[in-house]
Copies of this chain bind each other. A is one copy, B any other.
């Protein structure tokens, strides 16, 4: 079911049982898999590939236990040229996915996220809201990017990375502080980041480390708690 208001470019391939909502715009040479749902206002560039059962333009939900309510009015989801999105992904309104980004199967990206040019969001990666991801960033499979996090260009995050932003764990009057990963830093698999941690440029965090303090530029840390390697 494709709404009458949808604008579709030339040479667009649309699968079976696809639903496209009001005012969606789709560029040229786009490929849309079976069972895809594109919610209203989403804007899709040229040569974008959207695989089967993916949902674009999700509106945030909340219940009364949520300390931090999501934004109510969001701009449209913008997907730029040459983006490839896997199967069974869920991407929210108000986010921007820049040119050439690759998003793996079963990944989800919340609202108000910016993903820079040519970055990779791996399979089963969960990205929370209000996060800024730079260019040529790799976030590997099953990693977790918390809200209000900042990931600069050329950062490499191994699989199963875990971050947090909430020092007081769900209590009231609690300002969320996402970690900051500076340019070119590299994070090993299954590392754990506490709220507000800053990782310096080209710094390296070993696999399985628990990072409780800032790491300066170029430093290598490992362990629980993570300490500088001699």
Chain A positions near chain B (C-beta within 8 angstroms):
1, 15-17, 19, 33-35, 37, 49, 51-53, 55, 58, 61-66, 82, 84, 86-88, 90, 100-102, 105-106, 108, 118-120, 123-124, 126, 128, 136-138, 141-142, 144, 146, 156, 158-160, 162-164, 166, 169-170, 186-190, 192-194, 204, 207-210, 212, 223-225
Contacts and interface: CB of A to CB of B under 8 A. Distances in A.
A17 to B, nearest CB: 5
Contact of A207 (B63, B102, B210): B210
Chain A interface helix/strand/loop/mixed: loop
B105 A90 contact: yes
A190 to B, nearest CB: 4
Contacts of A224: 208, 210, 223-224
Contacts of A53: 35, 37, 53, 55, 88
Contacts of A158: 164, 166, 169
30 contacts: A15-B19, A33-B37, A35-B53, A51-B55, A52-B55, A53-B53, A55-B88, A63-B82, A63-B102, A63-B118, A63-B120, A65-B136, A65-B137, A66-B102, A66-B120, A87-B90, A88-B90, A90-B106, A142-B144, A144-B189, A159-B164, A162-B208, A164-B189, A169-B204, A189-B192, A190-B190, A207-B212, A208-B224, A210-B224, A223-B224
